Structure 1
Amino acid sequence: MILIFTDKDDVHAEAVIEHLKAFDADFVRFDQDVESLQKTIVTYKSGDWSIKTDKEAYVLNQISKVWLRKSYVNTTLQQDVDRSNHFKLWKGEWNKTLQGMYSTLSHLPWLTPFREVFRAENKYLQASVAAKCGLKMPPTLISNDKQELIEFASVYGRVAFKLMYQDVYQVADGTFHGLYTNVITADSLSEFEVMGENPIVLQEYVEKQYEVRYTVVGDQHFVAKIDSQMSDVSRIDWRRYDLKSTPYIAIEPPAHIRNGVNTLMIKLGLIYGALDFIVKPNNDWIFLEINPLGQYLWVEDLTGMPISKAIAKWLV
């Protein structure tokens, strides 16, 4: 039986489940959103786990394969700003319980092995491994040394400022916003403190012909060209979506890029990954990052590439 760790609103899981049903596969899901967990009973006894929800009941020794779509308690934006002691305790204990379940299942085949996922999310490790796989990256500096940052930005003129940790932040008017890639100059760093700041990431800003979302499922590669330069909204970071003005087209990657991606997946111990590339005007492919739990469904919808079906096939 296949176990899917997800949440009740995950459209990716729903898309794959439709294919699993068509394959007549036996599966259960463990929804990790707050509302679902409040209706979930788990018991660890005599070396095994039993799970009971308002929809189904099963024990973990029935499981033969695992798909980790969501890794920990999934909270809404409003729940994220709940700093009450009760909620922090509740969320922390559920997350530790999930870790225990993952450990119990660790001997099974995982589409997204949890140990490798948490290891591969480290951007420092990604940069180190990608270089050994023949994938080019922009010159990069990670530091909280103000002088080092200013000197780096002065050398390259315009640099991309990035965050290693993605989150959503509530601002003064009560709305929530993400922080995406921005282009800055050395002058932009004037307010950076000499002491006490967190490390930040600067990269040489790479001029783009287009961008690529590159999804791997096992030995299948699904590669989408994103014409992000056709819109001023998405020109610097395609995650500022302007889908009407940024066509998505399925393409074949160059052979050396496919080989490099295969090597990267092996070195990181991953079976699934969502990678981001920039393609320069001279057709050089520049690797940016890999997300071992990355989203893909909007790419499938816009290109018709059967990514959900590939995931379901792997699971069965």
Structure 2
Amino acid sequence: MPLLPPTVLIVTTPGDLGADLVIRQIQERGVTIHRIDPADLARPGVLRMTGTADGEPLRFTIDDEHRCTLSQSVVSVLWWHPGPPGGWEQQESRVILEDFLFGLDGVLWVNHPERARTARPGPRQLKLAASLGLRTPPALFTNDPDQAAAFAREQGGRVVCKTLTAHPHRFIQARLVSAEEIKESADCVRQAVCYFQRPVDKVHDIRLTVIGDRMFPCKVTANGAFDWRAAPEDELGFEAVSAGRPLTHKVQQLMDQLGLEYAALDFAVDRGGTWWFLEANPFGQFGFVEAATGMVIARAIADHLVQTALATHVYTPGGGHRASSGAPWQRAAGT
């Protein structure tokens, strides 16, 4: 029985730059791509899905005006900012799509949404990074303004106030606040658990993009701005740099324990050259780094989605996957 051609499923929204960059690279490899927006499942006639759950391996088809994909042909999934459901119909459709996708065996995810959720930035991630030997500034999570002000005084009078989730209406940058400012904003502190961290006396930042076992360190300068994400674009500088083997080894351990194939890690580098770990974002953007430095991040992601996925599995149209010893996907089933 002939094998189905391998398919990389791209789950995203229209016009996403990162997805576009990766798709262009995959197209050069002769592998089928099916790009979908889950919201289209609730738009009559735009994206159709039919799945079967009967005790056998989960099977489904997804088709639109461009192509029809069978679940048995999917070798990898790029889950890249698909956006939240916009209503009950989209929510219902999304739950069913995710259940079928998550039930596939042997499929490479970048990144699996459930793993990414548990790997998100926060206290657990900081604890794990510190346990692996990465330097992490002391942090406090509290909605008690007295505790927050005391922590600020312990750290020299000021701390970084930052957020872990995106605000629905505006960008909130990380900023330095004093113990006095915390006391003056006590009512605001009481409204939500806040994230405070000791500031690093930094000379620049590092954005380290990781995909599989490949790492792309980029030095970021922001003309004195504390949070480079909020600095004017013409004041930002990006430069490809190197990272020492001891640090990259710890980063790889962190990725493995978080269960991530991809992440954008942020570090602050102090005057002594120490890299202080701040966070690892499982869905951090990389396009601006690639554009500024020429580093081939999109190509590395495409390689991972195609070469890594095809290296160890053969996918058969009858459902299910069988392991191989590096056999190419064109090999007939049973050989």
1:45 shift after superposition: 2.8
1:3 shift after superposition: 1.1
Q: 2: CA distance between counterparts of 1:114 and 1:107?
A: 16
* 8 Å Cα contact 2:41/2:93 also seen in 1: no
1:200 shift after superposition: 0.4
* 8 Å Cα contact 1:73/1:94 also seen in 2: no
Moved more, 256-265 or 291-300: 256-265
1:85-104 matches, within 5 Å, as 87-104=86-103
Aligned-CA RMSD value:
2.0
For residue 205 of structure 2, what is the aligned residue in structure 1? 211
For residue 185 of structure 1, what is the aligned residue in structure 2? 178
1:114 shift after superposition: 2.7
Q: 2: CA distance between counterparts of 1:117 and 1:102?
A: 15
* Residue in structure 2 matching 1:275, options 242, 259, 265: 265
| Residues 1:290 and 2:284 aligned together | no
For residue 51 of structure 1, what is the aligned residue in structure 2? 62
Q: 2: CA distance between counterparts of 1:88 and 1:280?
A: 46
Letter of the aligned partner of 1:48 in structure 2?
R
Q: 2: CA distance between counterparts of 1:136 and 1:195?
A: 27
* 8 Å Cα contact 1:8/1:36 also seen in 2: no
Structure 1 residues 102 and 125 mapped into 2: Cα distance closer, same or farther (>3 Å)?
farther
Q: 1: CA distance between counterparts of 2:111 and 2:187?
A: 40
Which one has a bigger Cα radius of gyration?
A: 2
The TM-score normalised by the length of structure 2 is: 0.81
1:135 shift after superposition: 0.7
SS of the aligned residue for 2:266 comes to strand
Letter of the aligned partner of 1:165 in structure 2?
T
SS of the aligned residue for 1:137 comes to coil
1:206 shift after superposition: 1.5
SS of the aligned residue for 1:288 comes to strand
| Residues 1:161 and 2:200 aligned together | no
The TM-score normalised by the length of structure 1 is: 0.86
Q: 1: CA distance between counterparts of 2:235 and 2:173?
A: 19
* 8 Å Cα contact 1:214/1:221 also seen in 2: yes
For residue 313 of structure 1, what is the aligned residue in structure 2? 303
For residue 37 of structure 2, what is the aligned residue in structure 1? 31
Q: Could you list the per-position Cα deviations for residues 176-217 of structure 1 after superposition, in whole angstroms to 9, with x for gaps in the alignment?
A: x21111111112122323995211000112221000100011
Q: 2: CA distance between counterparts of 1:68 and 1:106?
A: 16
* Same amino acid, percent of matched pairs: 27
1:241-280 matches, within 5 Å, as 241-280=231-270
1:98-137 matches, within 5 Å, as 98-105=97-104, 107-137=106-136
Structure 1 residues 281 and 225 mapped into 2: Cα distance closer, same or farther (>3 Å)?
same
Q: 1: CA distance between counterparts of 2:26 and 2:284?
A: 20
Structure 1 residues 249 and 37 mapped into 2: Cα distance closer, same or farther (>3 Å)?
farther
Q: Could you list the per-position Cα deviations for residues 255-280 of structure 1 after superposition, in whole angstroms to 9, with x for gaps in the alignment?
A: 22212111111111112111000001
Q: What is the count of residue pairs matched by the alignment? A: 292
* 8 Å Cα contact 2:62/2:68 also seen in 1: yes
Q: Could you list the per-position Cα deviations for residues 94-119 of structure 1 after superposition, in whole angstroms to 9, with x for gaps in the alignment?
A: 33233213322254222323332111
SS of the aligned residue for 1:193 comes to helix
